[in-house]
Amino acid sequence: MKHKFLSAFLTRPGKNIFSLTLLLAAATGFSKPVVDEVNPMIGTAEHGHVYPGATVPFGMVQLSPDTRDNTWDGSSGYHYSDSSILGFSHNHLTGTGCPDLGNILLMPTVGELKLVPGANVGEGYRARFSHADEISRPGYYCVLLPDYNVKVELTATARAGFHRYTFPAADAGHIVVDLQHGIGNKVTEAQLAIEDDHTASGYRQSDGWGGGKVYYFVMEFSRSFDSSGVAQGDKDVAGKKTTGKETKGHFDFKTKAGEQILVRVGLSTVSVEGARNNLHTEISNWNFDAVAKAASKQWEKALSVFEVESADNNLKQTFYTSLYHTMVAPTLLSDVDGQFRGPDGNVHQAKGYDYYTELSLWDTFRAENPLLTLTQPARVNDFVNTMLAHYKIFGQNTLPVWPEGGKETWCMIGNHAIPVIADAYLKGFRNYDADEAFNDMVASTDKNREQLDAYRDQGFIPTADGRQSVSKVLEYAYDDSCIARLAKALGKNDVAEKYAKRSQNWENVFDPATGFMRGKIADGSWVKPFGEKEINSINFNEYTEANAWQYNFFVLHNVPALIAKLGGDDKFTARLDEMFDTTQTIPNLASIPDVTGVIGMYSHGNEPDHHVAYLYNYAGQPWKTQTRVRQICSVLYTNAPGGICGNDDCGQMSAWFVFTAMGFYPVDPVSGNYILGSPLFDKVTLKLNSKFAKGREFTVVAKNNSAQNPYIQSATLNGQPITRSWISNAEITTGGKLVLTMGPTPNKAFGSAPADRPPGI
C-alpha cells in the first residue's frame, strides 16, 4: 500500500515547478523542455558510479542521497541496488573509480534521537526508501522516507544546497548533522558550532583520495529549532560548540502535519565566512521552488545546445542524459569572491576566471574536453587558466594529472592537461598566456615525469624501472606530439622538431613479430613470456588496466604509421576485426573491475579503447566503423539505471555516446578532425555560441536512418558532395549542414580512397 504522504508527491510545489512547463508546452504546442528528457538514474546501477541528486552545471555542490559510504561501487555514495539511505550530503564524485567527498550530511528523523547511522535499518538513523517513491531531475531530487513519514526535496545552486523536509505531526522531529560521515574517507577533525537558534557552522577535515581536504559550511534553518545539541559519537557534549573526529549535532522540532522545514547550506574550501558569503549571494530567500526552477532553467539552457529528431524516446533520453553527465564535472572550487584552497593546501585568489577541480584528464581528454569546446566554450579558457594556476601553486613542475577536491591525486598516467591545452589553443581559445602554457607543458614532461630518463634516452621504459611501462610510453608519445603541434603553432620550430621526433617513441615498444605493443627489459629485449589476452593484474608491469589488445592501437597522432607497421590496410582491419570478433576470452577478466563492456578483446568500459572502432576509416573501410559504433551503442548504452557499462569517469563514457550519436568522434583531439561513424538520429543540430564560432549552428541529417540502415551511401557538406570520411572542427564551427544518406548495405567506395581517409601527422 502506498504511504499516505505519497499521495501528495505529485501535487506538492516541488513537483509543480516541473510539470507546469509541460502543461504550458502542451497548451501552446511547443515541444517539451529538454530537461524532461534527462534520466539522472542512468548509471546509478552496475558500475556507472554516478549520483542522482541535485546540482547545477559544473557546480561545487552536488546534494545527493548517500546509500553507502564505502566500496568501489559506492564511489558516488549511491547505488541503485541499495534499499536504505544514510542521509543527504553536499558533494559527490561522478563516475569515478575511487570514492571520496560526501561532506556535511543531513538526515531528517522522527522519534527517538539517534546520532549514528547503524549498520541496518532500526539500529540508527538510517532509513528505508523505494525507487517508486523517488524523483530525480536535473537540479532536483525527491524521496519519501516511510520510516519517518518525511518527504525530502533537494535542490542546489553552484555553491549552496537547499533542503525542504515535509514532516508529519510530531513532538520529536529532528534534523541530524553528521560530520563524521564521509564517502571512502575518514574525518581527521570536524567542528560544529550553533551560532543562534536557526544557524550552525563549522568545517570537516578529512583524509582520503588525494590527501587532506577541508570543507567549511554554514547552514540556516527556516525557523527556530525548539532545542539543539552538539555531540561526539552518540553522546551529547556540553555547550554549543564541539571539535573532534566524531562530531555530530541535532536540531529538534515539534511539527504539525505537513509542516515544511527548510535548510540552506553554503560550502567553501576557504572559510566559514566564505561559505556564508556563497550562501547569501546565491540563496537570499526561502523560496525553494524558485531556486529549483532556476536550477532547471540553467540545465535547460545548457542542454538546449542540441536539438535532436528521432521517434525513439529511449534514444533521446539516453542522449540527453549523456549530455547532462558531461556537464556535472569538472566542478567549481572557487568561491563567489574568487578565493579557493589550492593543491598546496593554502588559500589563493582567482582573478578573472573560475577555478575548477575534478579534472579526470586521463579520461576526458579523449572526448569530453573536445566536446566542451563545442557545447561549453565559455568555460574552456577557465579550464586552461585553472591548469596553469595549478602548475604555479603546486610547485612541482607539473600540470594537473587528476585534481580532486582541489588536491592532486596523481591518478593514472601521462600528463593529459597537455592535449587539453593544445586542443584549446589550436581551436582559438587563447585568453591566457600561451608561452606560459607551453613552458608548463615542457616542464611537465622534462622535469617531472616518471621514468623520464629512460623514456628520453632509450625511447622506452624498462619494465624493471616502473609499472605500466608500455602504456606510459604510448601516452607520453601522444603528449609529445601535442607539444610539437603547439610549438609549431607558436613558431618554435626547433622545439617542435624535438618533440615530433620523440612522439615516435611508440615504435620502440612495437614488436613486428607479434604485431603487439610489448614490454622490454633494460637491454632492449622483449619481456617473456608474453600473453596478449591477460590483463597485467598483479603488478601492472606493462599495461594500465588493460591487456596488450586494448593498448595495441594507441597511436592517436599517427594512425597511418601504425597501419604500415601492422602490414597495411587489409592486415590492419583484419586485426581490428579479430579484436571485436574473437570468441576467445580474457582469462583474468575478474581481476580488474574497470575492464567492462567487453566485446571480444575490446573493452568499452575503460577509456584506452574509446577510439578503436573509428580506426577502420584510416584504412579505407569506414563501413566497418559504421557497423562497430552501432553495435557498441545498441549493446552498451541503455535508458536504464545500468545503462552505462563502466565508470562514467566524470563524463567521458557519456561524451563518447554524445559524439557517436551525432555521427563523428575525435580520435586525435588535437588534430581538430572528427572521424565519421553512423549517426543515431534522423537529425541533430548543434547550436553554436556566436562569441566563439563563426556560424550559428551545425546540423547532421541522416536520410533513411534506421537500425536497418547503418551504412553511409553518400554525403554532402553544405550542399557539396564529399567522399572523405572525416570533417574538421573549423567546418563545424563555421556552421552548415552535413547530409548523410544511409542504407542497408555498405557503400565500399565511400571514404576508401587514400585521399578521403583521415590524415595523420
List C-alpha distances in Å: 346 to 61, 212, 213, 218. Answer: 21, 12, 11, 21
Q: What are the tens digits of pLDDT across the range 153-190?
A: 999 999 999 999 999 999 999 999 999 999 999 999 99
Q: Which helix (H) or strand (E) holds 318?
A: helix 313-325
Grid cell, residue 202, equals 563549522
Q: What are the tens digits of pLDDT across the range 236-270?
A: 999 999 999 999 999 999 999 999 999 999 999 99
Share of the chain above pLDDT 70, in %: 96
CA-to-CA distance for 465 and 201, rounded, in angstroms? 49
CA-to-CA distance for 229 and 251, rounded, in angstroms? 7
Pair type for strands 736-743 and 726-728:
unpaired
**Helix, strand or coil for residue 575?**
helix
What is the mean predicted confidence (pLDDT) over 540-557? Answer: 94
409 φ/ψ angles, rounded to the nearest 5 degrees:
-95, -20
Q: Is the distance from CB of 532 to CB of 518 less than 8 angstroms? A: no
**Between residues 612 and 1, which one has the greater pLDDT?**
612
List the beta bridge partners of residue 720: 717
- Of 570, 615, 623, 626, which Cα lies nearest the Cα of 746? 623
Q: Is the distance from CB of 149 to CB of 143 less than 8 angstroms? A: no
List the beta bridge partners of residue 722: 715
- Of 597, 646, 629, which Cα lies nearest the Cα of 707? 629
Q: What are the tens digits of pLDDT across the range 689-734?
A: 999 999 999 999 999 999 999 999 999 999 999 999 999 999 999 9
Q: Is the distance from CB of 652 to CB of 593 less than 8 angstroms? A: no
List the beta bridge partners of residue 196: 199
What is the mean predicted confidence (pLDDT) over 734-754? Answer: 98
Grid cell, residue 351, equals 582573478
Checking 198-201 for CB contacts under 8 A at 24+ apart, the result is 198/222, 198/223, 198/224, 198/225, 200/228, 200/249, 200/251, 201/272, 201/275, 201/276
**Between residues 276 and 538, which one has the greater pLDDT?**
276
Residue 17 scores a pLDDT above 60: no
Q: What are the tens digits of pLDDT across the range 98-143?
A: 999 999 999 999 999 999 999 999 999 999 999 999 999 999 999 9
Confidence of residue 537 (pLDDT cuts 50, 70, 90): low
pTM of the model as a whole: 0.96
Q: Pick the range with the lowest mean pLDDT from 69-78, 504-513, 519-528, 538-547.
A: 538-547
Q: What are the tens digits of pLDDT across the range 55-90?
A: 999 999 999 999 999 999 999 999 999 999 999 999
Residue 221 scores a pLDDT above 70: yes
Grid cell, residue 185, equals 574517507
Position 294, amino acid: A
303 φ/ψ angles, rounded to the nearest 5 degrees:
-75, -25
- Of 337, 333, 331, which Cα lies nearest the Cα of 276? 337
Q: Is the distance from CB of 320 to CB of 50 less than 8 angstroms? A: no
CA 497 to chain centre: 34
CA-to-CA distance for 318 and 309, rounded, in angstroms? 13
Residue 285 scores a pLDDT above 80: yes
Q: Is the distance from CB of 360 to CB of 402 less than 8 angstroms? A: yes
- Of 138, 108, 155, 144, which Cα lies nearest the Cα of 14? 155
Q: Is the distance from CB of 713 to CB of 752 less than 8 angstroms? A: no
CA-to-CA distance for 745 and 557, rounded, in angstroms? 31
Q: How many CA atoms lie within 13 A of 602 on its CB side?
A: 24
Q: Which domains does the chain have, with CATH numbers?
A: 6-303 (2.70.98.10), 349-439 (1.20.1050.60)
Checking 380-384 for CB contacts under 8 A at 24+ apart, the result is 380/424, 380/429, 381/353, 381/424, 381/429, 381/430, 381/431, 381/432, 382/353, 382/354, 382/355, 382/356, 383/330, 383/356, 383/359, 383/420, 383/424, 384/420, 384/421, 384/424, 384/429, 384/431, 384/432, 384/437
Residue 8 scores a pLDDT above 90: no
Cβ count near 670 (within 10 Å): 29
Q: Pick the range with the lowest mean pLDDT from 12-21, 299-308, 398-407, 717-726.
A: 12-21
Residue 53 scores a pLDDT above 80: yes
What is the mean predicted confidence (pLDDT) over 309-319? Answer: 97
**Helix, strand or coil for residue 194?**
strand
Per the listing, cell 539505471 goes with 641
> What per-residue confidence (pLDDT) applies to 3?
39
Pair type for strands 697-703 and 736-743:
parallel
Q: Of all residues in the chain, what percent are helix, strand and coil, respectively (each to 5)?
A: 35, 25, 45
What is the mean predicted confidence (pLDDT) over 26-52? Answer: 86
